[in-house]
Structure 1
Amino acid sequence: MLLRTLAIDCADPYELATFWNAVTGWPISDGDEPGDEEVLIEAPAPGPALLFIRVPESKTVKNRIHFDWMPTERTRDAEVERVIALGAKLYEDHRTADGLGWVTLLDPEGNEFCVERSAAERNL
């Protein structure tokens, strides 16, 4: 079995896809534009694409599933700063004095996601 797509309910699919496009560098699918009911950003193979779907209700409780991202080009802390500059908000900081831990952030619609240490930081 192959996980092809992760669907994310949201108020503004294009706006949220634009945020995640900036975070991941993955392209928004050709033909998707502001106002669309569904917008897809395409992950490199074999990863699942992210499909943002407009729903009428807003997010009210903690997500039951969330992304854990591991930076590939930056440290955890540099990635956290970069993603906050793109519009994420700090939610919970689980970093410890010895350099371990992760940071939980919120995307522009309040969905939780985590940024862990990079592979290079894990090998230090």
Structure 2
Amino acid sequence: MFTIQHITIDCHDPYALAEFWSAVTGWPISAEDEPGAPEVAIEPPDAGVPELLFVAVPERKAGKNRLHLDLMPVARTRDEEVTRLLAVGAALVDDRRKPNGRGWVVLGDPEGNEFCVEASEAERA
């Protein structure tokens, strides 16, 4: 049995990508990390939730992610979150929203890592 400590994302600029994901999640960058560090974490407010850890690698991302995050908004609708995330630097990759309100939107972070924004619980009800 294990506890998942980190979800690690290889990247070119760990601090810049951590800043983006901090804006996405609302989680703070670890006080131990600073610009130029080879590893930077953002820390979830809840115990038991893994940190997102950004680690510098020399190569750029190539191809589609083999693993990605699916995000479900808590305080906003899916569409409000998509608008907010595009404003903080995400890129639209694929719009899978359906006329009935279901579906999701695939976005890319500033280094091209894909993630999805799904409908909130309230929208699903």
Gaps of 5+ in 2: none
Q: Distance in 2 between matches of 1:81 and 1:93?
A: 13
Count of aligned residue pairs for this structure pair: 123
Q: How does 1:37-56 map to 2 (within 5 A)?
A: 37-44=38-45, 45-56=47-58
Percent identity, aligned pairs only, is 61
Q: Distance in 1 between matches of 2:25 and 2:101?
A: 24
Gaps of 5+ in 1: none
Matched residue of 1:31: which SS?
coil
Q: Report the CA distance between 1:26 and its aligned residue.
A: 0.4
Q: How does 1:49-68 map to 2 (within 5 A)?
A: 49-68=51-70
TM-score w.r.t. structure 2 length? 0.96
Q: Distance in 2 between matches of 1:84 and 1:111?
A: 14
Q: Distance in 2 between matches of 1:79 and 1:110?
A: 18
Q: Distance in 2 between matches of 1:89 and 1:11?
A: 17
Q: Distance in 2 between matches of 1:47 and 1:73?
A: 19
TM-score w.r.t. structure 1 length? 0.97
Q: What is aligned with 1:32?
A: 33
Q: Report the CA distance between 1:4 and its aligned residue.
A: 1.2
Alignment-mate amino acid for residue 5 of structure 2: R
Alpha-carbon RMSD: 0.6
Q: Report the CA distance between 1:43 and its aligned residue.
A: 1.2
Q: Distance in 2 between matches of 1:25 and 1:39?
A: 15
Matched residue of 1:23: which SS?
helix
Q: Distance in 2 between matches of 1:109 and 1:11?
A: 8
Q: Report the CA distance between 1:31 and its aligned residue.
A: 2.4
> Which 10-residue stretch deviates more, 63-72 or 24-33?
24-33
Q: Report the CA distance between 1:49 and its aligned residue.
A: 0.1
2:84 is matched with which residue: 70, 79, 82? 82
Deviating runs (4+, > 2 A) in structure 1? none
